Amino acid sequence: MKRAAAVMALVCAVLVGARASAYVRTRSSHGTPGIPSYWPGGCVFIQPDSAGTPDLPSDQTFAIIQKCLQNWMSADGSCSYLQLMYDAPAPLEAHYDGTNVIKFRNDKWCHPEDAEDKDVCYDAQAAAITSVFMINDGSSKDGLILDADVELNDINFTFVDVTPGVSPTPKPNTSIADLENTLTHELGHLQGLSHTCRDAASFPNDVDENGQPPPACDALDMLPTAEQLKITEATMYNFAAPGETKKRSPSPDDAAGICNAYPSDPAARSALHRPDSMQCVHTDLNRYTRPSGCDFGAGPVESGAPILLLAFAWLVLRANRRRA
């Protein structure tokens, strides 16, 4: 599986006359705009690599990870049906396999070489990367997410549990990143949200819920203050300051994005035609990677079916707001 390049060209958004609306759902690249991405089931299972991080005791690390799942469900539970489920830590690698992994990288800030790919190394300013694997073939399954993995940059950052009034000491040559702040943001990507403003790492086909390109991050001062704050105070805002904690709590706008994707309202849910959305089971890749055009209904799995996916390697929680 080839992984898409992490950096794409900056596209300048035209803001004049557009209402900034903040939340942005990640979309397929077919059509204009593409189909917004979504998980087919009613649950997403998330599992940490048991190696954890040398920055924190394992018990504390895994407790924070579970807290991050809860952060989203506390924010959107009144209007979203999607449940984030925690699987016990195990030795895991982050790749396309139907297991949604959280993995700290502390030997090199790269995705390791596998059978088809060489090492893919990431931007040192990125505290974490979430890769979302979704069907992107223009079929009736377009936008369906099959796998998502979060990798955390333990080379350039020290992950901490920030406590008010306490100044943690980072490892040499690293910046402080609050683990809960970072991971709550990444779990927004895992559920299918993109960033609230457009920068060099944004996908060209990103649009907000009004069908407009998100405003450029370096042009937010053109917007009314309330609109700026809606974008910059969101958990899915592109940037974070060292030791920041406000992304621990998804904003109403972040929750609106999840509820747009996974509405608990019966009529809205029915309108999305997702027969598997009532199920809480681990993802069966074969079920969704049969030849395009098949329905979602149960049936024999066809071996050798083409896997049509778009691999995203993106992130962008940066320790310092440094722009080129």
Applying CB under 5 A, the residues found at the interface with Zn ion are: 315-316
* Residue number, 178 or 276, with CB nearest to Zn ion: 178
Sequence-distant (6+) residues with CB within 8 A of 283 are: 39, 40, 41, 45, 98, 100, 146, 147
Asked if 33 and 207 touch (Cβ cutoff 8 Å), the reply is yes
Distance of alpha carbon 40 from alpha carbon 77, whole angstroms: 18
* Residue number, 244 or 276, with CB nearest to Zn ion: 244
Write down the least CB distance from residue 205 to Zn ion, Å.
Answer: 17
Asked if 15 and 250 touch (Cβ cutoff 8 Å), the reply is no
Write down the least CB distance from residue 161 to Zn ion, Å.
Answer: 20
Q: Distances from the Cα of 60 to the Cαs of 56, 160, 248, in angstroms? A: 7, 10, 16
Length of the chain: 324
Write down the least CB distance from residue 271 to Zn ion, Å.
Answer: 29
Write down the least CB distance from residue 170 to Zn ion, Å.
Answer: 21
311 three-class SS: strand
**DSSP per residue, 142-174:** TTBEEEEEEEEETTTEEEE---TT--PPPPTT-
Closest-by-Cβ residue to Zn ion is: 316
The number of beta carbons lying within 10 Å of the beta carbon of residue 74 is 13
* Residue number, 240 or 259, with CB nearest to Zn ion: 240
* Residue number, 270 or 320, with CB nearest to Zn ion: 320
**DSSP H helices in the chain:** 58-76, 179-191, 225-232, 252-261, 266-271, 285-288
* Residue number, 176 or 315, with CB nearest to Zn ion: 315
* Residue number, 80 or 184, with CB nearest to Zn ion: 184
Write down the least CB distance from residue 56 to Zn ion, Å.
Answer: 21
Write down the least CB distance from residue 238 to Zn ion, Å.
Answer: 6
